[in-house]
Amino acid sequence: MSRVEGRSGAGRPAPSAGQRAYLWIRDAILDGVFAEGEFIDEVALSEQVKTSRTPVREALQRLQVERYVDLVPRRGAQVRVVTATEMRELYQARFVLESDAVRRICARRAGAPAAAGALVEEMEQVGLDGNWNRFAQLDQLFHSTIVRHQGNAVISDMYDALQPRQVRLGTRTLTEGPSRLETIEVEHRELLAALENHDGDACVDVLGRHLREIPELVDAFSGARGSR
């Protein structure tokens, strides 16, 4: 799933109760309405989403699969804590998949994906508004568009399977370190330029900087709860 789901538009069927519950709870977690480690009450959620408990329960099961929550027997759903270890492992996985993709794109001299420039511009506007959730969604789509541009559907699907954790981590990262925004935006532009120049080594260099560990963020993610 490479695109973040949202409200139904003209000509689209209205989302089901389970879908509405899923989107509401997911966005509440991403926006910090529910704190990491907090238990979420099904009854309260059903009242907030204005649906019965069954769609809420279905939504929480889906969110557990996507690693937003843990379902704890006899206690309910607990918002997962994003740890320094998870951040490190996600960056490593992304670097493996993305560096291979950009090298293949450059070897074919395919240039940057047509949609990538517009995504960067939209991200920069969203960044000015301080909407970290939306920025993280667009960031995931930007990188997914590049991976998909190499033409390997299996690898693209593998990459998109990381989307829930990638968006949540991106939201949390910018919340903890908003000063990183300018650097992220510069690196996006550098990556597009390297793709247009068919320079695989330069692309990989940008990705290495883009996905490196930032000590202050590692400290923030280690925090009081520690790494797993």
Predicted confidence at residue 29, as pLDDT, reads: 87
Predicted confidence at residue 164, as pLDDT, reads: 86
Q: pLDDT: is 73 or 194 the higher one?
A: 194
Mean pLDDT across the stretch 29-37? 84
Predicted confidence at residue 31, as pLDDT, reads: 79
**12 within domain boundaries:** no
Q: Decide if pLDDT at 222 tops 80.
A: no
Q: pLDDT: is 211 or 228 the higher one?
A: 211
Q: In this prediction, what percent of the chain has a pLDDT beyond 70? A: 90
Predicted confidence at residue 120, as pLDDT, reads: 98
Report yes or no: 136 and 172 within 8 Å, Cβ to Cβ.
no
Predicted confidence at residue 30, as pLDDT, reads: 83
**5 within domain boundaries:** no
pTM of the model: 0.80
**104 within domain boundaries:** yes
Q: Indicate the pLDDT class of residue 149, thresholds 50, 70 and 90.
A: very high
55: domain range? Answer: 17-79
- CATH number for position 26: 1.10.10.10
CA atoms within 13 A on the CB side of 226: 1
Identify whether residues 99 and 198 lie together within a single domain: yes
Q: pLDDT: is 173 or 108 the higher one?
A: 108
Identify whether residues 183 and 145 lie together within a single domain: yes
> Which residues face 6 on adjacent strands?
none
Identify whether residues 200 and 152 lie together within a single domain: yes
pLDDT tens digits for range 2-18: 334 444 455 667 788 99
Q: What value does the mean pLDDT of the chain take?
A: 89
Q: Decide if pLDDT at 59 tops 80.
A: yes
pLDDT tens digits for range 66-125: 889 999 998 889 998 888 888 899 999 999 999 999 999 999 999 999 999 999 999 999
The 8 Å CB, 24+ separation contacts for 1-8 are: 1/160, 1/163, 2/140, 2/141, 2/144, 2/145, 2/148, 2/156, 2/160, 2/163, 3/141, 4/137, 4/140, 4/141, 4/163, 4/167
Identify whether residues 112 and 215 lie together within a single domain: yes
For 18-42, b/e burial (b = at least 16 CB within 10 A) is bbbbbbbbbebbbeeebebeeebee
- Tell me the C-alpha distance between 150 and 200, whole Å: 13
Task: Give me the number of domains the chain comprises.
Answer: 2
SS3 at position 7: coil
79, 105, 129 — which closes off a domain?
A: 79
Mean pLDDT across the stretch 50-65? 94
Report yes or no: 98 and 91 within 8 Å, Cβ to Cβ.
no
**158 within domain boundaries:** yes
- Count Cβ atoms below 10 Å from residue 73 Cβ, excluding itself: 5
Q: Would you tell me the crossing angle of helices 215-222 and 163-176 to the nearest 10 degrees? A: 100
CA-atom Rg of the chain in angstroms: 18
> Which residues face 72 on adjacent strands?
76
32, 48, 79 — which closes off a domain?
A: 79
- Which of 15-19, 52-56, 190-194, 196-200 bottoms out in mean pLDDT, i.e. has the lowest? 15-19
- CATH number for position 162: 1.20.120.530
